[in-house]
Chain A
Amino acid sequence: MIRAALVDRVIQPADLLAEVATPRSGATALFIGTVRETNDGRAVTAIDYASYVAMAEGELERIAREAGEKFGVDFLVVEHRVGMLQLMETSVAIAASHAHRGPAMDCTRWVIEEIKTRVPIWKREHYADGSRDWVDPAPRSEKVAP
């Protein structure tokens, strides 16, 4: 069972874990992306996630299918949220289960990296000083990921 979706509701990671639970699996990996309170030294209060919905849904589904084939993972669920998110809210969750830990963990890592380069989703950060800006991933990609 492989599923990927763009959602405009709260993501419940426990639901994703339940979806990939199977007696065949000895390992389950879960990646959760959340809204962080600072970016490039600026105090962030919220992030508005915008998307080219029709394309993003297709690209998410392609990534999930490719990940399944690449890592031999049959149980994978990906959800990415759009809309206004507050600090600590989950923007993306990826759950994968497999007989062994390696493919499950590698799969979730690969999926989030592909999402960041291929899926038409954009973040408009809202800052504590009242301003807001679209996030440009270029300068950030040169820094060490947290």
Chain B
Amino acid sequence: MATVAVQLFASYADLLGQSRMTVSVPDRATVRDLLTSVRSLPRGGGIPETALVAVNRRFANASDPIAASDELALIPPVAGG
């Protein structure tokens, strides 16, 4: 297992009551694993399985690998403009 830090914003931060958290993920984890870990936390089930994730400030695919050194963020549906 590895530990990664994740940033949360807007409705997701409100849902989980924090804007930054650490979660445990399997070794050689992917974005999908990260979402699974977050969704297993208390109230984490409110985050969709298909939530957008940014890795190093770019939108990532579910199968993309993640590392402890990556800047990770869960991105609620954007609503700029």
Contacts and interface: CB of A to CB of B under 8 A. Distances in A.
Contact of A136 (B7, B9, B77): B77
Interface in A101-142: 112, 115-124, 134-138
Interface residues of A, number: 28
A77 interface: no
Interface string B55-81: 001110000000000010101111111
User: Which of B9, B54, B58, B73 has its CB near the most chain A CB atoms (within 10 A)?
Assistant: B9
B31 to A, nearest CB: 15
A33 interface: yes
Given A50-B9, A52-B9, A134-B10, A92 B81 contact: yes
Interface of A: 33, 49-52, 54-56, 58, 80, 91-92, 112, 115-124, 134-138
Contact of B75 (A33, A52, A91): A52
7 contacts: A52-B9, A118-B59, A119-B80, A121-B80, A122-B76, A134-B14, A136-B77
Contacts of B81: 33, 80, 91-92, 112, 115-116, 121
B12 to A, nearest CB: 9
Q: Give the 6 A-B residue pairs with the shortest CB-CB distance, closest first.
A: A121-B80, A122-B10, A55-B57, A134-B11, A135-B79, A137-B79
A121 B59 CA distance: 14
B78 A121 contact: yes
Nearest to B73: A52
User: Which of B58, B76, B81 has its CB near the most chain A CB atoms (within 10 A)?
Assistant: B81
A46 B79 CA distance: 15
Interface string B14-38: 1000000000000000000000000
Given A121-B79, A138-B77, 5 more contacts: A52-B73, A54-B57, A116-B79, A120-B73, A136-B79
A49 B78 CA distance: 11
A54 B54 CA distance: 11
